[in-house]
Structures are given as C-alpha cells and as structure tokens.
C-alpha cells in the first residue's frame, strides 16, 4: 500500500508519470487523466482510459495503470481525507458508492464532458500552484478548489446517470451543440468566444461557423439571447434592480446590457419594468 502523507487540511494533488505494479492507497483518491491513453486494471477488470477520464478509487483498492504504446498518460491524483476537508459527505458517498469492497459502477472510469473537464483542469492547476508557492490563504484556496473540482465531477456523474449528455463526440458539430447547451444553462458565467471554442476543442473561426449552423446566431448573439431572456423573466417576476439583474446575468457594464436587451427583447429594461408595475 502506497502511503501519501496528507497535510493537516486533508488534500494533496500529485502528478503521476511513473507507472507502478498493482498497488493501493491509504486514502480515497480521484485520478484524472489529463492527456494520453492507457488502461486501468483491477484484480479482474480492465478499462480503457483517455484524456478527461476520471477514476474514483476507494481506500485500499488494488489497481494498476498502464500506458498504451507511444501514448503516455499524464495523470493527476487527488488524495484526500474527507473528515479533514470538511466537504459534503453525501456527495463523496455518491461518487464512491461501494458494496462490500467489490468493484462497483462508481469505480469504473468515466469521461468528463468537455465543459466540466475544463473547469476541473482549472481547479487542479490552482491547487498545484497553491501547494507549490503557498501564498497567504493557500489552505483555504486548496480546499475551495478541491470542493469545486469534486462538485463538477459530481454534476457530470449525475448528468451521465440521467443520460442527458452524450459522451464526448469526435464530431465537431456535436461538440459545438453540447457546449452551446451548457453555456445556455450557465449563461451568467463569463464564457468568451475563446473559452467556448476551447471547450469544443475547435478554433474560434470553426466554432463561430458551427455556432451559426447550430443556433442560427453568432456566439455573441446566442449568449445575449439567453442572458436577456433570463433578464426579462427577472424584471417581470422580481423587484430586483435592473443593475443587479445585469450583474447577476454576467454583464459588468450596464450600457452593454441595455444595448443587448434592446436588441433581443425590442424594448428597454425600464420600459418592461414600468409595464409590470401595478
């Protein structure tokens, strides 16, 4: 059994490039395949791995990673003690569901959808930075980024269980549509064209072309359409200030919001608000 000594806050991320014989870990761990291809072997089970694969390993689970020829994997391992992290135990139990120590569905690798993968990568990079340089508040930052990474994996796992999101597709249009669906649901976040194209694993030019094909709009028009329709709903159903609504939906400049709203809804936010005042 490999023993990784955890710090007092209960989380450590390590890069694993050297493959080992079958072994286990003292603590629960999450393995994330950043790139490359390979396999994970348990006592009697073997599963293929590719970029953005995630493996949830119970403490004491014997396993072995092996690279495919000329496709060496870069693997990041998150080791943690749930009691020390203070993270939601119900979420961990869902991800690490176990039945008497036998291999369960939760221990079978699954591929993160491209947008969740980008978020998890961001969280892992930040944890690695905090571990190395230890700026003020680094322990809190590590715990928060760990929580966000696990939350993204949890949401991806739930969506996979509902079969509402297909696995990562090699088809460019399918990837574009998947990313657009995600952005429509999370339009309040600051997704630039560059971010969206990166999530779809396309150039900005190619993504823009496929966005027009899939949605009939440019990327900016698509984003404004979803943001402004949400703004319309909030103006009609709440007493939130228009400035607060604009900020909540991702507009940091109020004049930009007003222009977008007028283009999408065909009236000013103030005009819509006055119509709904009894």
Q: In this structure, what CATH number is given to the domain that contains residue 255?
A: 1.10.10.60
| pLDDT 10s digits, 114-150 | 889 989 999 999 999 999 999 999 999 999 999 999 9
Residue of 234, 116, 227 whose CA lies nearest to 179: 116
Q: In this structure, what CATH number is given to the domain that contains residue 143?
A: 2.60.120.280
Task: Verify that 154 and 225 share a domain, yes or no.
Answer: no
| pLDDT 10s digits, 23-61 | 888 999 999 999 999 999 988 889 999 999 999 999 988
Query: 262: which 2 tokens?
Result: 């007028």
Q: Which of 111, 140, 162 is the last residue of a domain?
A: 162
Residue 155 has pLDDT above 80, yes or no: yes
The sign one gets for the Cα dihedral 140, 25, 152, 212 is positive
Task: Verify that 179 and 142 share a domain, yes or no.
Answer: no
Task: Verify that 141 and 25 share a domain, yes or no.
Answer: yes
Task: Verify that 146 and 85 share a domain, yes or no.
Answer: yes
| pLDDT 10s digits, 189-242 | 888 999 999 888 899 999 999 999 999 999 999 999 999 999 999 999 999 999
The reply to whether 100 falls in a domain is yes
Q: Which of 162, 194, 218 is the last residue of a domain?
A: 162
Task: Verify that 202 and 67 share a domain, yes or no.
Answer: no
Q: Which domain, by its residues, includes 19?
A: 11-162
Confidence band, pLDDT 50/70/90 cuts, at residue 170: low
CA distances from residue 87 to 10, 82, 202 in whole angstroms, order as listed: 10, 6, 35
Task: Verify that 64 and 188 share a domain, yes or no.
Answer: no
């Amino acid at each position: 059994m490999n023993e990784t000594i955890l710090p007092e806050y209960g989380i450590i991320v390590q890069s694993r490039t050297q493959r080992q014989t079958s072994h286990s870990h003292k603590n629960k761990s999450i393995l994330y395949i950043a790139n490359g291809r390979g396999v994970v072997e348990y006592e009697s089970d073997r599963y293929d791995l590719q970029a953005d694969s995630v493996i949830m390993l119970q403490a004491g689970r014997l396993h072995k990673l092996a690279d495919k020829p000329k496709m060496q994997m870069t693997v990041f391992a998150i080791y943690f003690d749930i009691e020390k992290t203070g993270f939601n135990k119900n979420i961990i139990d869902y991800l690490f569901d176990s039945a008497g120590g036998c291999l369960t569905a939760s221990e079978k690798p699954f591929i993160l959808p491209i947008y969740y993968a980008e978020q998890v990568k961001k969280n892992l990079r930040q944890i690695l930075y905090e571990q190395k340089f230890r700026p003020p508040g680094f322990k809190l930052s590590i715990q928060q980024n760990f929580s966000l990474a696990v939350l993204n994996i949890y949401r991806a796992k739930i969506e996979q269980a509902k079969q509402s999101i297909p696995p990562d597709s090699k088809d460019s249009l399918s990837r574009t549509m998947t990313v657009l669906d995600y952005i429509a649901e999370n339009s309040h976040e600051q997704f630039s064209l560059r971010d969206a194209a990166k999530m779809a694993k396309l150039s900005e030019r190619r993504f823009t072309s496929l966005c027009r094909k899939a949605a009939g709009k440019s990327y900016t028009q698509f984003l404004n359409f979803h943001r402004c329709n949400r703004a319309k709903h909030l103006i009609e159903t709440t007493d939130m200030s228009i400035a607060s609504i604009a900020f909540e939906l991702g507009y940091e400049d109020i004049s930009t919001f007003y222009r977008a709203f007028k283009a999408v809804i065909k009236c000013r936010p103030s005009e819509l608000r006055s119509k709904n005042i009894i």
